[in-house]
Amino acid sequence: MIIETLRLGSYGANCYIVGSEKSKDVMIIDPGAESIRVKNLISSKSYNPKFILLTHGHGDHIGAAKDLKKEYNIPVYIHKKDSAMLKDERLNFTNMMFKNGVSLNADKFLEDGDKITLDNMKFQVIHTPGHTPGGICLKNKEVVFSGDTLFKGSIGRTDLPGGSYDEIIKSIKEKLLVLDEDTVVYPGHEGKTTIKYEKENNQFLK
């Protein structure tokens, strides 16, 4: 599996280019800023972008989505409960984060349990509200992309509109910690971790 990581923008959000080594078909997960860096990587590796997947609607994860959608003429996926956030620069905070706010429409609304196919690969959508109402994680076999739900040794903040501490803890314990302990977690910020490590070391989950 192709997994490329770009830490983008002043907020250091992780953008992942994920896909098939055979066909080089890829999806772009959370392109938060600096679309030129995403384009340069895709071009240098001759990848074929098929869609953009947003784990939630905050500006540091969506900032370059509009430009990349136009560049590659590809659809944008997001959970339906974050769709309003995506369209409103006040709700997604891009009016504060960037010189120009970002507003765009999603092409596909995701729900818990949805299956996403990319070449011969299948990904499962896991709805994990708490950071935002429509926050999701995306799982494929031994890896999960956790957005701003779960970080190494930490969890996503819950003090922003739509956030809930009780919900995010419930989401993590009931939907992520039940995964195989060897599952590698690729979070929305900082470095990767594993389910086993978080079970044993994450103080928020004790």
Please report the pLDDT score of residue 98 as a whole number: 64
Its domain, for residue 156, covers: 2-205
Please report the pLDDT score of residue 166 as a whole number: 96
Strands 2-8 and 13-19: antiparallel
* Tens-place pLDDT, residues 149-168: 999 999 999 998 888 999 99
Please report the pLDDT score of residue 91 as a whole number: 66
Low-confidence ranges of the chain (pLDDT < 70): 88-89, 91-101
Query: In the chain, how many domains are there?
Result: 1
Mean pLDDT value across the chain: 93
Please report the pLDDT score of residue 101 as a whole number: 67
Please report the pLDDT score of residue 196 as a whole number: 97
Please report the pLDDT score of residue 95 as a whole number: 62
> What is the SS3 assignment for 113-132?
CCEEEECCEEEEEEECCCCC
Please report the pLDDT score of residue 42 as a whole number: 98
Helix, strand or coil, per DSSP, at residue 48: strand
Q: Is the pTM of this model over 0.85?
A: yes
Q: Round to whole Å and give the CA distance between 22 and 83.
A: 33
Domain containing 7 — which CATH number? Answer: 3.60.15.10
Please report the pLDDT score of residue 110 as a whole number: 96
> Residue 56 in contact with residue 132, Cβ under 8 Å?
yes
* Tens-place pLDDT, residues 173-184: 999 999 999 999
